[in-house]
Amino acid sequence: MKQTSYELFFSQEKEENRNINEFETRKLVDFKLNLSGWIADSVKLKYSKGARPEKNKCLAISEWPTQSGPADYVLFNGLIPIGAIEAKRRNKDVAAKIDQAERYSRDFTILEGMEDISKSRSFKIPFVFSTNGRKFNNNLPTKSGIWFKNLKKKNDLIVIGAEVNRNKSHGIIVKKSGKISKIVEFSNANTKEKKIKMCNTGVIGLKSKFLNLTSKIKKNKSKNEYLITDIVNIAYQKKLSIGLIKTRNSHKSFGVNTIDELNRLKCL
């Protein structure tokens, strides 16, 4: 039975000493991307041939133009540019080429309709990779494996939230100019704030180096207690980066504030 080109190149991966060219490397990377659920074909699915990101499709588009030259691949999750790959032939130092993938990310242009999730002024694509298609080899550490770098700006504080249609007790996540600025207790919220559906589940993550900010939390006069959620507004005033993780199942995420919520929890 005749092997397909992908099967042929995949079998050649086992020949660790064989020096394949960049075209063959791309075919091997195509194959592995396909195995991972991406639609990839570096010959047909190319920018110059009209390939563009599409909603609800995971596309690996080759030769995507950037200001520092064409990226070997740009990975699109729907309309989100999520990864850039530098694919080099076997005898190249893969580790050293991660810098080239970084340049692709930096010089990539977010086009109309695309969604930017990088949260960075410097980089437009959050994840970059460098590979030559070879499995990682302990004897050739910099000339094998997949080298990876996360360029996405790390958040200093994370709030876990969920949408609630009929909120009666949960803290409300308030934004200012698109950024999370505070969490308001439901009992203290104004009419406009009570219309916001995104609520705090009761879980907040803060980098350890900023834990000293908790000492700035003041006692809430109306409740005569310290509200840990005030740390969000303190972080906002300090211009820290605040991120939001949305949960789908609010029943498994929220804390308990009322007897009714406790009774519902017992029924789960």
Task: Tell me phi and psi for residue 85, to 5 degrees.
Answer: -120, 130
pLDDT of residue 2: 43
| Owner of token pair 């091997």 | 28
Give the tokens for residue 58: 């995971």
- Residue 71 pLDDT exceeds 90: yes
The answer to whether the pTM exceeds 0.85 is no
- Which residues of the chain does CATH 3.90.1570 include? 5-150
> Dihedral of CA 233/235/239/244: which sign?
negative
Task: Give Cβ neighbours of residue 268 (< 8 Å, ≥ 6 apart).
Answer: 251, 252
The single-letter DSSP state of residue 103 is H
CATH class of 5-150: alpha beta
Q: For 6-51, how does the pLDDT look when each residue is reduced to its tens digit (9 = 90+)? A: 444 444 444 445 667 778 888 889 999 999 899 999 999 999 999 9
Q: For 91-130, how does the pLDDT look when each residue is reduced to its tens digit (9 = 90+)? A: 678 888 899 999 999 999 999 889 887 766 688 998 999 9
What is 157-267's CATH number, 3.90.550.10, 3.40.50.2300, 3.40.50.720, 3.30.565.10?
A: 3.90.550.10
- Which residues of the chain does CATH 3.90.550.10 include? 157-267
CA 56 to chain centre: 17
Rounded Cα gap, residues 232 and 46, in angstroms: 45
Region 188-217 average pLDDT:
90
Q: For 236-262, how does the pLDDT look when each residue is reduced to its tens digit (9 = 90+)? A: 999 998 988 887 655 555 566 667 766
